[in-house]
Amino acid sequence: MKVAWAGSREAFQVSDRMAKLVANDPVFEKFSKPMLGRKELFKNTLRKAAYAWKLINDLRLTEEEAKWLRHYIDEPNYTDLHWEMFVPAIEGQGTKEQKKKWLPLAQTMQIIGTYAQTELGHGSNVQGLETTATFDRQTDEFVMHSPTLTSSKWWPGGMAKVATHAIVYARLIIDGLFHGVHGFIVQLRSLEDHSPLPGLTLGDIGMKFGHGTYNTMDNGVLRFDHVRIPRNQMLMRVSQVTKEGKYAQSDVPRQLLYGTMVSVRQTIVADASKALSRAVCIATRYSVVRRQFGSRNGGPETQVIDYKTQQSRLFPLLASAYAFRFVGEWLKSLYIDVKQRLEANDFSTLPETHACTAGLKALTTAATADGIEECRKLCGGHGYLISSGLPELFAFYVPACSYEGENVVMMLQVARFLVKTVSNLGYKQPVGTAAYLGRVTPLLQNNCAVQTAEDWLNPDAILEAFEARAARMVIGCGERLAMFENPEEGFAELSIDLVEASLAHCQLITVSVFIQKLNHEIPGNGVKRSLEVLCYVYALFLLHKHQGDFLATGYLTPKQASLANEQLRTLYSKVRPNAIAFVDSFNHMDHYLCSVLGRYDGNVYPKLYEAAWKDPLNDSDIVDGIQQYVQPILKQKLHYAKL
Ligand SMILES: CCCCCCCCCCCCCCCC(=O)SCCNC(=O)CCNC(=O)[C@H](O)C(C)(C)COP(=O)(O)OP(=O)(O)OC[C@H]1O[C@@H](n2cnc3c(N)ncnc32)[C@H](O)[C@@H]1OP(=O)(O)O
Ligand SMILES: Cc1cc2nc3c(=O)[nH]c(=O)nc-3n(C[C@H](O)[C@H](O)[C@H](O)COP(=O)(O)OP(=O)(O)OC[C@H]3O[C@@H](n4cnc5c(N)ncnc54)[C@H](O)[C@@H]3O)c2cc1C
């Protein structure tokens, strides 16, 4: 099962080796983080990042090993942006010459980069960005400028205090004409003394949600006051500006400029499964340890994991962690394929890849953020302690619903793709994840044939249900849209339904990928049978949660919906005996979980009690302030005037 979760034996070995390397190195200790002030916390992160970079070089780690090392260090910091966005942006949007010049500097960290796209006034709407890059043909330079307060770059990670360079997205202006938003390599700080270069205002945007979490990252604000950069620092794979000031757009879609975001969105789906699996591991192990009520004649009380309500909240999240793991693997292969095609200037799968990365990013991050919070609640009061590991994980994780594409905005991109697919149905057969829309007649006409709860243990019945639901919702939106004279107005008016139809489409993808994974990639019987149970839990949980869609579209009868719910209850009893095996298969070490409740040894109460005494408030019995502020109250015998 560990290999199934890791994806392969080699992947398991790499991640296991890196997890142990981090867990066994005191430099990467995490428990004290929440007690540090912002400056100490930040310096602590710089120290860890420097030590990690030395480890990577001393041990000559591979790129894959280095990714896992950074992952298990489990601390947002400037290297995330450098490796996940700055380097990929140059790789994806730089010309050969630009890659030749900048990549060796970036890959040896002689320069440290960030990705500066979002501004105070615009994040989702990239075409609305206000920073300008005006071409000066006299000097063969671009003049970077922040014309308004809202044009201030705002949020880029690592930009406030660490990054020496940034890919800055700005409006290209030539002779007063706007030629779209493009990426520019801009140096921010001196490589000698790290001071901001002339014309640049740089700072941190302030504390963020949660304490020890994203405050290890210096998300920055940046303003330009007519800063000049050489013309060859505009990323020119997609579009070019000649020395004479002529703008040329290559015959590639302008959306390749968005390629870095697509790349990160597909990694964010894999990260969602990791984050959700951490929370589920903690809540499952604790639900086995925790006993409450149910004692018979002095016997032990009931383990809370045996309550059906606990199972109905926990096991769908366990199943979702596996579903997101597998769909993340599938998405990565889709992305690798599109990258290879782009090399050959084949853009045929770019729209679908964009829709899948956008939609699955939104689906998995929303479900994971809600899932982490549900796992906190599944642990009762102790889940609210920092030592449970859950509040910090939640605070660390939730921005994923906003960054790299706000989730609703992303679902609307899926809707745009689906509406276009439906409008082309007459003369273009949909393929890939939208292929089911090409079989729309049976999906609209045939209703569910399930007669018994057992009938739901059939992947074909499940797949047909999810295809019919999505098809009926998407086609329904298409039909209503057709009634609007102005398609854009119709799209805006129907956007709520369109987002729901997009979610149905994305849930179909996750369910079908889970089924495909079981049919084609999981060998043998034991592991396969156990994962089949989780696949049915995932699908029937979604069917139950969204049964309104299945009923409203006429595909399901209320009876069939209740049979699905009955089967779900039965499935929970099948998950229960393997619950600990499922979460142990994540191979999360105690260091990574950073949770007293999720300890591998289950030794919760003594360790909870021990952790409490580490709080600085327990350094003394009579703490500072008692004499000055509490004793006087006790002695003054003051009371409310009306007593
Ligand atoms: C344990 C857990 C660890 C977690 C931790 C580690 C994680 C790894 C560390 C990094 C940590 C993250 C740090 C956050 C980093 C930021 O957040 S970076 C900033 C991210 N910002 C965004 O994502 C902005 C989102 N907005 C957008 O992408 C664009 O504005 C939108 C929404 C796509 C609209 O773009 P637009 O140019 O107005 O285009 P639009 O008119 O909507 O569409 C035009 C056409 O282009 C197409 N199109 C649009 N975009 C694309 C695209 N990307 N590709 C292809 N086609 C496209 C459309 O489909 C449409 O096609 P047609 O319908 O015409 O055929
Ligand atoms: C922790 C963190 C790290 C970040 N790191 C970086 C970074 O390194 N580099 C970088 O460039 N950016 C970064 N960002 C910024 C991030 O990319 C943006 O915040 C994100 O893209 C969301 O954009 P926004 O803030 O403009 O949201 P908005 O779009 O303003 O969202 C506000 C509300 O408006 C709604 N909305 C917006 N447009 C529409 C529409 N057309 N239809 C319907 N509803 C709509 C949204 O659904 C949302 O509910 C980071 C953000 C965070 C939180």
Tell me the longest C-alpha to C-alpha distance in the chain: 92
Within the chain, how many helices (H) and strands (E) appear? 23, 11
Q: Where are the domains of the chain?
A: 89-250, 259-584
pLDDT at 524: 77
Residue 189 is encoded by which pair of tokens? Answer: 């700080």
DSSP tag of 74: T
ipTM over 0.95: yes
205 lines ligand 2 (CB under 6 A): no
Ligand 2 binding pocket includes 216 (Cβ within 6 Å):
no
Ligand 2 atom 53: the closest Cα is on which residue? 399
Q: Which of the ligands is closest to the CA of residue 410?
A: 1
Q: Does domain 259-584 have CATH number 1.20.140.10?
A: yes
pLDDT at 641 (0 to 100)? 76
Index of the ligand 2 atom closest to the CA of residue 405:
21
Q: Confirm whether 89-250 and 259-584 share one CATH topology.
A: no
Give me the CATH code for the 89-250 domain, please: 2.40.110.10
Mutate to test the pocket of ligand 1, among 68, 159, 401, 413 (most ligand atoms within 8 A of CB): 413
Q: Is 393 exposed, middle or buried (0-12, 13-18, 19+ CB in 10 A)?
A: buried
Q: Measured at the alpha carbon of residue 562, what is the angle toward residues 557 and 565, in degrees to the nearest 5?
A: 135
**Do 561 and 551 touch, CB atoms closer than 8 A?**
yes
The residue contributing the CA closest to ligand 2 atom 51 is 403
| List of the chain residues with pLDDT < 70 | 643
Cβ-in-10-Å burial (0-12, 13-18, 19+) of 523 comes to exposed
Q: Give distance in angstroms: CA of 581 to centre of ligand 2.
A: 38
Residue 163 alpha carbon to ligand 2 centre in Å:
22
Tell whether ligand 2 has an atom less than 6 A from the beta carbon of residue 155: yes
CA distance 74 to 304: 30
The number of the ligand nearest the C-alpha atom of 352 reads 1
Torsion of CA 171, 172, 173, 177, to 10 degrees: -90
For residue 545, report the phi and psi dihedrals to the nearest 5 degrees: -65, -35
Which residues are designated catalytic?
Answer: 404
Ligand nearest to the CA of 413: 1
Interacting residues of 366 by C-beta distance below 8 A, sequence separation 6+: 401, 407
Q: What are the beta bridge partners of residue 170?
A: 182
Our answer on whether the CB atom of 124 is closer than 6 Å to any ligand 2 atom is: yes
Q: What's the Cα-to-Cα distance from 373 to each of 14, 318, 542, 596, 599, rounded to whole Å?
A: 30, 14, 18, 17, 19
pLDDT, residue 211, reads 76
pTM over 0.95: yes
Contact, 34 vs 386, CB < 8 A?
yes
